[in-house]
Chain A
């Protein structure tokens, strides 16, 4: 079988290369330099055929390393910004990682570590022969050890259409981190679609990024509904004049779509469904929340079906499987997304995650993990954690607590429970609301009754 062209090879042959850029929070990179040079010097050769962890502080260097190593490394493992140091050992073992690339001064977890010198200097290089590199990505914010899924460049770029002839080159901007699936999609669109791209960094304040986006004249701007709500609350967003606005990664509700229509009159506003596991699913461009029922069951590159209320997808864009070799798809090739949908009239609407997983502004919190912390408090008999809808972050964490002693002081108990949660959980997992209740409903099977959505 012929090897697919590498990212660098495709970038090198793409149009208007000389005028295109990636703008980051701390500097910019010319795509012509990126396409023709190496930022790793001689190290690139030693990474050939290896499993390589990309552990970078500034995501712009993740873009550099991806272009550098696709087609060279056997496997690229793209660490998300919130991957904790103490999770590294498990990750290294699970993904059989042999070396790391960083932009910081310290070697990574005892691995042979290659450093991208900052500011980045490119040296001319001729790409070696290319291999089909595995791209390993992390599923977002799950509890326990992070799950890693394996993609190919062909699968990741399956939804990317060639740019329309004669269209002006797009200037993409994204609020996502490009090390997550949603952001990586935009990086690949910019690299393969004649575009430039402006990205942010974890430490960059929203007003500063919006000012940069306006300065580079962003035309195609993407983020989660929570990102967009924040942007709309920031005065600097008034200077933006995008030609296309896109949302994904969370449920796009009607208020956020209407607010965007009002802020950017006449601009096409699309919301897309994608997941790290199932890949890019579909786009909705009629300005309405949810998606047309007709999408389900129709033939095409991506097939949808709904089983027990959960959306399932089948396409070549899905991940090949988990890094431990376990498959993602069922015998018929469908990936169960765990996103629960409900049919109302002729549209499906997203109502939440199966198992009550709470999506707080794109970060996922498991009720059980939070309940375990609450239940560890001696004043607590039992608790139930659920999602509460939020117009700001999509959802927030709410907790109902049954106290062991019904005569105990509620205010004191609540304060202590919250203190325990703050100590042991990430801020987005700490219940925003705690309510003391006399009892919690149980199912016939003796399990805590949970509502979906």
Chain B
């Protein structure tokens, strides 16, 4: 009885950990991409890339975002802006990361 109960619990826990790691990885990829494009375009980031940071107040312009989305598509194999069924444009950095996480 205890064994049967324990098994799925462990599995669920493992799954959670696994997803958490994937989430962290994708966020890291995106953070690194923002930093690379910011440096390459000479548009310094105005602050730390927190969930609450409004994208258009991040110091980057539309061209930077276009480059970020295109290069992420090459690296990740998808572009949530053209694939998403729910139609919205991300406002904050947190929105942006979730947008990519959901489309994954």
Closest A residue to B82 by beta carbon equals A391
Q: Are B62 and A392 touching (Cβ within 8 A)? A: yes
Contact A235-B79, Cβ < 8 Å, known A393-B63, A433-B70: no
Q: Are A427 and B70 in contact (CB under 8 A)?
A: no
- Most chain B CB inside 10 Å of its own CB: which residue of A261, A389, A393, A432: A432
Q: Say whether A94 faces chain B, with CB atoms less than 8 Å apart.
A: no
Classify the secondary structure of B's interface with A: helix
In the complex, per-residue mask of A287-317: 1 if CB is within 8 Å of any chain B CB, else 0: 0000000000000000000000000000000
Per the bound structure, the CA–CA distance linking A274 and B81 in Å amounts to: 26
- Shortest Cβ distance from B40 into A: residue: A418
- A-contacting residues, B5-39, CB 8 Å: none
Instruction: For residue B24, give the distance in angstroms from its CB to the closest CB of chain A.
Output: 24
How near does chain B come to A390, taking the closest CB pair, in angstroms?
Answer: 4
Would A360 and B70 be within 8 Å (CB), given that A232-B89, A427-B41 are in contact? no
Q: Could you tell me the distance between the alpha carbons of A229 and B81 in the complex, rounded to whole angstroms?
A: 11
A192 to B56, CA, bound (A): 35
Interface footprint category on B: 20 to 34
- B91 in contact (CB, < 8 A): yes
- A425 on the interface (CB 8 Å rule)? no
Residues in B whose Cβ lies below 8 Å from that of A226: 62
B80–chain A nearest beta-carbon distance, Å = 9
Q: How far is the CA of A263 from the CA of B102 in the complex (A)?
A: 20
B90 on the interface (CB 8 Å rule)?
Answer: yes
How many A residues face the partner with a CB closer than 8 A?
30
Minimum CB–CB distance from B62 to chain A (whole Å) comes to 5
Verify A361–B63 contact, CB threshold 8 A: yes
Residues of A within 8 A of B81 (CB): 255, 391-392
Contact indicator per residue, chain A 254-266, by CB within 8 Å of chain B (1) or not (0) = 0100110111000
**B62 and A258: CB pair below 8 A?**
no
User: Would you call A233 and B70 a contact (CB within 8 A)?
Assistant: no
Known: A207-B57, A361-B63, A393-B63. A259 touches B87 (CB 8 A): yes
Output the nearest chain A residue to B65 by Cβ-Cβ distance.
A392
Indicate if A396 sits at the interface (CB-CB under 8 A): yes
User: Which of chain B's residues has its CB closest to A363's CB?
Assistant: B63
| A396 and B62 in contact, given A229-B89, A233-B55, A391-B79 (Cβ under 8 angstroms) | no
Are the C-beta atoms of A235 and B88 separated by less than 8 Å? no
A115 at the interface (CB under 8 A from B): no
Task: Assess whether A393 is in contact with B57, with CB atoms less than 8 Å apart.
Answer: no
A89 beta carbon closer than 8 Å to chain B = no
What are 12 sample pairs from A and B whose C-beta atoms fall under 8 A apart? A234-B54, A234-B91, A235-B91, A259-B89, A360-B63, A388-B70, A390-B69, A392-B65, A393-B63, A432-B66, A432-B71, A433-B67
Extra contacts, 15 of them, besides A262-B88, A263-B88, A396-B63 (Cβ < 8 A), are: A229-B89, A232-B88, A232-B91, A234-B56, A255-B82, A259-B87, A259-B89, A361-B63, A361-B66, A391-B81, A392-B69, A393-B66, A428-B63, A432-B66, A433-B71
